[in-house]
């Protein structure tokens, strides 16, 4: 009994061993059979010469397998691979293959990712850098529109690698080769034949299609140039709309540059898509040449195209008026024959900028140099004869009344607001402009703030002008070209000439009267700026009214002049004006607070305007202008306010400089 019990376990062990051996043998059969399968054997059936091969498809219906072109396969990048390297589920060469249920179906993604992982493990990334690009393309594909589930069959993606590349014949020919040209020309057919038939039909009739197909111009845009090959995204997204403008610009660089100078382009560069882009005017797949009568931008069709956006039916918009049709969205300043108005306006503005900056920057630099040299030499300022008049040196001279000071402060704040909001659009391509636009709520709010500030600017100017004129007209003793007038006179020209002689040590420093020539320039520059910036801005703010009476080229010139004059004003204010009033050696440390307190010490007044001082002393009128100095608190607050405004101005100057030199 005991011997029988001892034999039973041994029999069980032998039986288990036998079963395991059999399992190993039979399990190895598919692998061994697969190893014997070569490409020649596979192609003997799948080359299409023996008729089509059908396999069970979806819902029990049969589907035909695509045949493999042996010639194209032999030239493909996969030609040296065995068929079963991808089709690992195939275990035999029978007509109806026995398949290994545990094997993965062919998958381009997992295969290439594994190859790249092996290359990184073996430190062969440089030798196989092409694999790295493929893996990057895979990452882009996973985020793309094509990787989303298909609406008709959610079990598969909208498009997979095989749909575009064809794994049995895929090969990207070398750049510049004839095969590359042929491959490039096939891209529209690849995209259109299977999925995008309507778009292909439109493309073939477009100027791009005609260039590619009819003229053989491989530089003409194809599907992947606009949509990319692997980063295909939904065309309704803002990311695509923004990137699409740059895509057009890759080929049409000059047109992109001119587009970004327009309001449409500025909003686009700020990162918003509600203004017209390339496709809104030219369309997308059926782009026509401008001279083509069927083109949306042909002269006879432009108004219709403009009214897609400029229509009373759109919130905040108005119907396009006749001048819209002659607006040139791609006008440049270097083509006199096509755009004579832009050519002339640009040359005038460039000359104006060069003259103003060259003169006044040289003026400031030489002034600083001469004062520094005089201080080194210990020269004292000119002596003023008081003719025995006893003055209380503790008193201050009242130079500006309260109304002027308030107007100056509001004017300064409004001007800085205009500079910030205006240059954010002017330099929309800079790194800082989109940040400003987003901070205030977008370009629409940016434009609203700019317009409100502009109306305040003009309003303050008009109030000042009316006040001054009515006061002067009632003053029967006022001399329009006298020493108290802001109108330039011959003494101003003599003072300017004398100042330059002083700069070079060829004469004494001129004795300025109530208003120095550079102060008069500051004053009248506002009149010039209000008219140039104001009228051009008004025309641009109400385009439907402007275009009702004026041709479209006024928008081109208006945009140019408005931006260039604003640039001139901003840079002049924050360099020359700041120097003359705050950064001269005799004004350091800044700020000069006379425009905030309204008064200055007698010593300072006598130094800045000695002729005025002497005139008042001679007439005995100076005592009428003597007041108590501002309180310590008022003076301290004025200094703090002045420093804050100077800091804001210098920051704005920095932003303008960054925008000017980087865009």
The residue-averaged pLDDT of 121-129 equals: 89
Per-residue pLDDT at 536 exceeds 60: yes
Per-residue pLDDT at 25 exceeds 70: no
| Torsion of Cα atoms, 382 then 383 then 386 then 387, to 10° | -130
The most distant pair of C-alpha atoms in the chain lies apart, rounded to whole Å, by 150
| Torsion of Cα atoms, 444 then 446 then 450 then 456, to 10° | 90
Per-residue pLDDT at 379 exceeds 70: yes
The residue-averaged pLDDT of 396-411 equals: 93
The residue-averaged pLDDT of 560-565 equals: 96
Per-residue pLDDT at 58 exceeds 80: no
The confidence score (pLDDT) of residue 354 equals 97
Q: State the pLDDT confidence band at 577, using cuts at 50, 70 and 90.
A: very high
Beta carbons within 8 Å of 65's beta carbon, 6+ residues apart: 46, 52, 53, 54, 55
Report pLDDT digits (tens) over 598-607.
999 998 999 9
Q: How far is CA 629 from each of CA 268, 389, 393, 626, 643, rounded to the nearest angstrom?
A: 53, 20, 10, 9, 20
The residue-averaged pLDDT of 164-180 equals: 76
The confidence score (pLDDT) of residue 581 equals 93
Report pLDDT digits (tens) over 144-168.
989 899 888 888 888 888 888 878 8
The residue-averaged pLDDT of 60-83 equals: 82
DSSP H or E stretch at residue 56: strand 53-56
Per-residue pLDDT at 12 exceeds 50: no
- Distance between CA atoms of residues 627 and 400, nearest Å: 12
Terminal-to-terminal C-alpha distance of the chain = 101
The confidence score (pLDDT) of residue 81 equals 85
SS3 of residue 53 by DSSP: strand
Contact 109, 138 (CB under 8 A): yes
E-assigned strands of 381-469? 396-398
The residue-averaged pLDDT of 3-30 equals: 43
The confidence score (pLDDT) of residue 86 equals 86
H-state helical runs in 160-222: 161-165, 178-185, 187-194, 197-204, 207-209
For the chain, give the percent of residues with pLDDT over 90: 58
* Least-confidence region, from 216-220, 250-254, 345-349, 444-448: 216-220
The confidence score (pLDDT) of residue 380 equals 65
* Phi and psi torsions of 63, nearest 5°: -130, 150
Beta strands at 626-627 and 599-601: parallel, antiparallel or unpaired: unpaired
The residue-averaged pLDDT of 319-334 equals: 94
Stronger pLDDT, 339 or 471, i.e. the higher one: 339
Q: State the pLDDT confidence band at 79, using cuts at 50, 70 and 90.
A: confident
Per-residue pLDDT at 18 exceeds 60: no
The confidence score (pLDDT) of residue 396 equals 93
Beta carbons within 8 Å of 244's beta carbon, 6+ residues apart: 226, 235, 277, 278, 279
Beta carbons within 8 Å of 295's beta carbon, 6+ residues apart: 282, 288, 289, 301
Q: In the Cβ-directed half-sphere of 304, how many Cα atoms lie within 13 Å?
A: 9
Beta carbons within 8 Å of 146's beta carbon, 6+ residues apart: 157, 158, 159, 160, 232
DSSP state of 181: H
The residue-averaged pLDDT of 562-570 equals: 96
Stronger pLDDT, 25 or 544, i.e. the higher one: 544
The residue-averaged pLDDT of 332-358 equals: 96
* Least-confidence region, from 344-348, 436-440, 465-469: 465-469
Structure tokens at 20: 């395991």
The domain 348-402+479-650 is placed in CATH, from the list 1.20.140, 2.40.160, 3.40.50, 1.20.950, at 1.20.950
Stronger pLDDT, 366 or 45, i.e. the higher one: 366
The confidence score (pLDDT) of residue 458 equals 92
Report pLDDT digits (tens) over 457-499.
999 999 989 988 998 888 888 888 999 999 999 999 999 999 9
Q: State the pLDDT confidence band at 47, using cuts at 50, 70 and 90.
A: confident
Contact 158, 185 (CB under 8 A): no
The confidence score (pLDDT) of residue 9 equals 45
The residue-averaged pLDDT of 63-92 equals: 83
CB atoms within 10 A of CB 159: 19
The residue-averaged pLDDT of 545-574 equals: 96
From 258, 257, 184, select the one nearest 221 (Cα to Cα).
184
* Domain limits, the chain: 1-33, 37-106, 348-402+479-650
Contact 277, 252 (CB under 8 A): no
Report pLDDT digits (tens) over 264-319.
999 999 999 999 999 999 999 999 999 999 999 999 999 999 999 999 999 889 99
The confidence score (pLDDT) of residue 14 equals 42
């Amino acid at each position: 009994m005991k011997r029988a019990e001892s034999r039973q376990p041994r029999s069980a062990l032998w039986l288990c061993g036998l079963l395991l051996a059999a399992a190993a043998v039979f399990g190895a059969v598919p692998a061994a059979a697969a190893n014997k399968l070569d490409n020649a054997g596979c192609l003997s059936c799948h080359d299409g010469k023996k008729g089509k091969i059908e396999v069970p498809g979806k819902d029990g219906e049969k589907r035909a397998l695509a045949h493999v072109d042996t010639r194209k396969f032999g030239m493909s990048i996969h030609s040296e691979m065995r068929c079963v390297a991808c089709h690992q589920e195939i275990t035999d060469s029978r007509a109806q293959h026995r398949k290994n249920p545990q094997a993965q179906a062919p998958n381009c993604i997992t295969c290439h990712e594994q190859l790249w992982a092996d290359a990184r493990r073996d430190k062969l990334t440089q030798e196989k850098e092409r694999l790295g690009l493929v893996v990057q393309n895979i990452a882009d594909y996973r985020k793309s529109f094509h990787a989303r589930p298909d609406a008709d069959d959610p079990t598969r993606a909208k498009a997979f690698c095989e749909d575009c590349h064809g794994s049995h014949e895929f090969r990207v020919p070398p750049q510049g080769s004839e095969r590359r040209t042929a491959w490039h020309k096939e891209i529209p057919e690849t995209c259109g034949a299977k999925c995008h038939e309507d778009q292909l039909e439109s493309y073939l009739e477009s100027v791009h299609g005609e260039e590619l197909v009819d003229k053989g111009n491989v530089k003409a845009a194809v599907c992947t140039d606009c949509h990319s090959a692997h980063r295909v995204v939904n065309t309704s997204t803002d990311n695509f709309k923004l990137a699409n403008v740059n895509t057009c610009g890759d080929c049409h660089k000059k047109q992109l540059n001119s587009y970004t100078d327009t309001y449409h382009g500025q909003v686009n560069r700020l990162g918003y898509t509600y203004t017209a882009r390339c496709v809104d005017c030219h369309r997308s797949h059926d782009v026509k040449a401008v001279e083509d009568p069927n083109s949306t931008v042909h002269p006879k069709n432009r108004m219709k195209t403009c009214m897609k956006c400029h229509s009373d039916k759109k919130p905040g918009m108005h119907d396009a008026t006749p001048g819209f049709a002659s607006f040139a969205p791609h006008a440049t300043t270097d083509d006199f024959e096509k755009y004579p108005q832009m050519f002339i306006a640009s040359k005038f503005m460039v000359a104006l900028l060069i003259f103003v900056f060259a003169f006044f920057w040289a003026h400031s630099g030489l002034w600083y140099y001469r004062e520094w040299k005089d201080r080194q030499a210990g020269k004292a300022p000119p002596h003023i004869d008081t003719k025995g008049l006893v003055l209380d040196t503790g008193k201050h001279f009242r130079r500006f009344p309260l109304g002027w000071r308030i107007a100056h402060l509001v004017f300064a704040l409004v001007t800085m607001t205009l500079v910030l909001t205006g240059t954010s659009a002017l330099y929309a391509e800079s790194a800082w402009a989109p940040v400003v636009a987003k901070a205030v709520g977008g370009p629409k709010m940016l434009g609203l703030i700019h317009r409100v500030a502009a109306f305040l600017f003009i309003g303050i100017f008009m109030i000042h002008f009316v006040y001054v004129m009515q006061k002067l007209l009632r003053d029967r003793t006022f001399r329009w070209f006298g020493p108290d007038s802001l109108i330039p006179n011959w003494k101003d020209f003599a003072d300017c000439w004398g100042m330059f002689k002083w700069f070079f040590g060829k004469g004494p420093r001129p004795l300025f009267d109530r208003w120095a020539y550079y102060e008069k320039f500051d004053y009248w520059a506002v009149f010039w700026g209000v008219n140039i910036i104001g009228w051009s801005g008004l025309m641009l703010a109400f385009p439907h009214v402007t275009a009702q009476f004026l041709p479209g080229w006024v928008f081109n010139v208006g945009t140019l002049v408005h931006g260039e004059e604003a640039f001139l004003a901003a840079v002049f204010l924050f360099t020359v004006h700041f120097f003359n009033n705050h950064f001269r050696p005799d004004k350091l440390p800044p700020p000069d607070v006379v425009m905030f307190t309204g008064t200055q010490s007698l010593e300072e007044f006598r130094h800045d305007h000695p002729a005025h001082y002497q005139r008042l002393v001679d007439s005995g009128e100076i005592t009428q202008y003597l007041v108590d100095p501002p309180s310590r608190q008022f003076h301290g607050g004025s200094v703090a306010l002045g420093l804050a405004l100077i800091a804001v101005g210098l920051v704005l100057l920095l932003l303008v400089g960054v925008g000017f030199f980087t865009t």
